[in-house]
Structure 1
Amino acid sequence: MTLHPQVAAALASMPAPPPGPLDPAAMRAGEEAHVSPVAERLPLHAVEDRTGPTPAGDVPVRIYTPVEADSYGLLVYFHGGAFFLGSLETHDHVARSLAKETGFTVVSVGYRRAPEDAFPAGLQDCYGVVRWAAGDDSGLGWDGGTLAVAGDSSGGTFVAAVAAMAHDDGFDAITHQVLFYPSLDLDFDVDRYASLRENAVGYGLETAGLKPFNAFYLDSGADPADPLVSPIKRADLSGLPPALVVTAEHDPLRDEGELYGQRLRDAGVPATVSRYDGAGHGFVQHFSWIPEFARVFEETAMFVNEHGLGRG
C-alpha cells in the first residue's frame, strides 16, 4: 500500500531541514511551537503535573485521570524523540488519548534527555517512575491489577528495557508492554533489516538520519551492543510481560519491531504484532487524527484491558 495521501501531502509541505549539525535546543523549540493550546486539548476528568520520587531523583510526571473512580489501572507512558526530543507537552495529546480509550490513569514521564544527561539517566527515570507509580506512596489509586508500560519510537526502546530491568529485579507488577514503532536495535547497519533499505527515503524518518538523530544518545555512553540500549539483543526474552508491538508499513524500523514480536513469541511470551498499512514512523504522534490510524488507541485499550493473559 502506498503512503496515506494525507501523510504524503503533509510531508511534501515540510521545509527541508537546515544545513549543518543538529541543534537540540532549536529542534525542541520548533516542536513545542506546534503544541495545541490547553483549551483545545481532549478534556479529561483531571490532568496534573507532579514529580515522581525515584532513586535517581525527582522526575517530572503528568498524571491523566480519565474519569472519577475509587481506583484505576495504570499505564506509564514514555514519549519518543530519539532520546533528545519530545516532552510532556509534545506528547500530551497521545497521553490524553491513551487515558480516554483505556480508562486507566496515565502517567507520562518527563525523563532526562541526551545530550545534557548521559545514558542511563533517561532509562533510570522511566524505571524509577514505574516503581514509584506502583507503590502505595504515589497516591495514584492503582487497583493492583493492570500496570502497563507504553512508549513510541525511542520511548518504545525504554518500554522494552524497563520490562527487562523489572524482570531481572524480580519486580513482577508490569502486566503489559505496548511499543509503538519502537527503536530496538541501535546498530544502524543498513543491511541488518530489509525495511532499512525499502523505506530509506521519502517517508518522513529516513535511514540516513538514524545515526545523526541517535548520536546524542550513543555519544553519551549508550552502547548499541548493550541489551538495555538495543533490547532486541537480549538473549533470553522469556518471562517478559505480554506485548503489543505496533509497526508502520513505511518505517525503516518496521522489521526490527516485528522481529522483536516474533522473538517474544518464540520465548513463550504472548505478543501481538500489528502493522499499520499506509503509515510511516511517528504516526501515533503526528497523524493519529486520521481515522485509519486513530484506531491504534482502541487497539491499545483492548490489549491492556484483556485479563488472564498470563506471563511468558
Structure 2
Amino acid sequence: MPIDPGAQRVLDLIREMGRPPIHTLNPEEARVASAKSRSVLQPEPEAVAEVEDLNCPGPAGPIKLRRYRAAGIAAEEVLPCLLFLHGGGWVIGDLDSHDQPCRLLANAARCCVIAVDYRMGPEHPYPAAVEDSAAALRWVVENAATLRIDSARMAVGGDSAGGNLAAVLAIMGRDGTVPAVGYQLLLYPATDMAAHRPAYERFTEGLILTSETMRWFIGHYVPEPERRFEWQASPLRANSLAGTPPAFVMTAGYDPLVDEGAAYARRLEEDGVRVTYLHVADQIHAFLTMGKFIPASALVLRQAALSLAHHWAEETAL
C-alpha cells in the first residue's frame, strides 16, 4: 500500500531540513532534535478543563507527572483515569512531547489523563522506566480521592516505548505487584527486544524509525543483551497474557515494530483477552505526534479514546 501523503510530506521535510538519523546522534543531541520538531509537526493542543503538574515519590527520587481533566467536566466530578506513558524509545520524550495527544485523549474519552515522566536510558537503563511507571501507578491509585479519579476505572496506555511500559504494567497488575487496571491502550507498542522479526528487514532506511534506529534505542535502554529476553523488557515473551485486561492495540504499516505489535494482539486473543486490533497500513511510526501534517493522527487517537470510553461505559452498566 502507498504511504499516506501526509506521512510522505513529513519524511520529505526531514530530508529537506537535513536532520540526521537519530541513530547517528548521541542521546542528548537526539533529545534536542526531537524537541525542535514538535512545533513543526504537532497541531495546537486542545483546551482542557484543568492541567496540573505534580510529583510522586519514586525509587530514585520524585517522578514528574502531569494531570489533565477533560474540557466541560465539573471540577468536583470523579473521573475514570488513563495513566499515560510517553514514547521515544526510552531515551527521548517527556511530558511536553506528548502534551497534545494527552489533551486529545482526555477530551475524547471524557476522562482524566495522568502522564508520567519516567527515567530514561542511557543514564537510567532498564528497569528504571518500569520501576518509575509502577511507582506512579501505585501513587495514583493510592491518591485517587485527592486526584478526583475513580480507582476502579483505571487504564494504562502509551505509544511505542510507552506502549511497552503499559503492557508490562498490565501484566504486573494481573500478578498483583501493582494495582490491577481495567484496560490497556497500546499504540504501535514495542513488545520484543530481540528485534529479529521480518519487519526489521523491510524498514532499513528512509523512515524516522528504521531497524537501525530501533536497535540504537534498545541498546541505550537495555544495554545487557541477556536482559532483553525478560518479560518486563519484552512483554511478548511473558509465559502467558491470560488474565490481563482488555486491550486496544494499534500498529502502523511502515514501522519496524509492526510485526511484534500484531503478534502481541494475537497473543492476547489466543490467551483469552478481549482485544481490538487496528492496523493503519499507510502510516509511519510516531504519526500520532505529527497531526499538523497527518490528519489520521487525530482520527486514530479518537478511535483509541472511544474504545476506552466504551469499555468504561460497559463497566458502569454492569
SS of the counterpart of 1:63?
strand
1:246 to 237, 241, 250: 250
Partner of 2:81: 74
| Runs of 5+ unmatched residues, structure 1 | none
Q: CA deviation at 1:227?
A: 0.5
Note if 1:26 corresponds to 2:29: yes
Q: Structure 1 stretch 13-22 or stretch 249-258: which is displaced more?
A: 13-22
SS of the counterpart of 2:227?
coil
Structure 2 CA distance for aligned equivalents of residues 80 and 18 of structure 1: 17
Structure 1 residue identity aligned to 2:10:
A
Q: CA deviation at 1:94?
A: 1.2
- From the superposition, tell whether residues 308 and 34 of structure 1 become closer, same or farther in structure 2 (CA, over 3 Å): same
Partner of 2:130: 123
SS of the counterpart of 2:228?
coil
Structure 2 CA distance for aligned equivalents of residues 45 and 309 of structure 1: 25
For 1:46-80, what per-residue CA distance to the aligned partner results, in whole angstroms no more than 9, with x for missing partners?
Answer: 11111022455321001111133420000010001
Question: Is this contact kept in 1: 2:6–2:293, CA < 8 A?
Answer: no
Question: Is this contact kept in 2: 1:118–1:221, CA < 8 A?
Answer: no
Q: CA deviation at 1:210?
A: 1.8
Partner of 1:181: 188
Q: CA deviation at 1:188?
A: 1.6
TM, length-normalised to structure 1: 0.90
Identify, as 1 or 2, the structure richer in helix.
Answer: 2
Moved segments of 4+, more than 6 Å:
none
Question: Is this contact kept in 2: 1:35–1:89, CA < 8 A?
Answer: no
Structure 2 CA distance for aligned equivalents of residues 20 and 236 of structure 1: 33
Structure 2 CA distance for aligned equivalents of residues 272 and 45 of structure 1: 29
Note if 1:236 corresponds to 2:240: yes
Fraction of identical pairs, as percent: 31
Structure 2 counterparts to residues 92-111 of structure 1, below 5 A: 92-111=99-118
Partner of 2:2: 2
1:169 to 167, 176, 180: 176
Structure 2 residue identity aligned to 1:136:
N
Structure 2 residue identity aligned to 1:33:
K
Structure 2 CA distance for aligned equivalents of residues 5 and 171 of structure 1: 42
Partner of 2:141: 134
Q: Structure 1 stretch 122-131 or stretch 280-289: which is displaced more?
A: 280-289
Structure 1 CA distance for aligned equivalents of residues 23 and 248 of structure 2: 38
- From the superposition, tell whether residues 270 and 82 of structure 1 become closer, same or farther in structure 2 (CA, over 3 Å): same
SS of the counterpart of 2:6?
helix
Structure 2 counterparts to residues 10-89 of structure 1, below 5 A: 10-14=10-14, 15-17=18-20, 21-36=24-39, 40-66=44-70, 67-69=73-75, 70-89=77-96
Structure 2 residue identity aligned to 1:179:
L
Note if 1:284 corresponds to 2:291: no
Structure 2 residue identity aligned to 1:52:
C
Note if 1:146 corresponds to 2:153: yes
Note if 1:209 corresponds to 2:219: no
- From the superposition, tell whether residues 117 and 138 of structure 1 become closer, same or farther in structure 2 (CA, over 3 Å): farther
RMSD: 2.4
- From the superposition, tell whether residues 142 and 293 of structure 1 become closer, same or farther in structure 2 (CA, over 3 Å): same
Structure 2 residue identity aligned to 1:27:
A
- From the superposition, tell whether residues 309 and 279 of structure 1 become closer, same or farther in structure 2 (CA, over 3 Å): farther
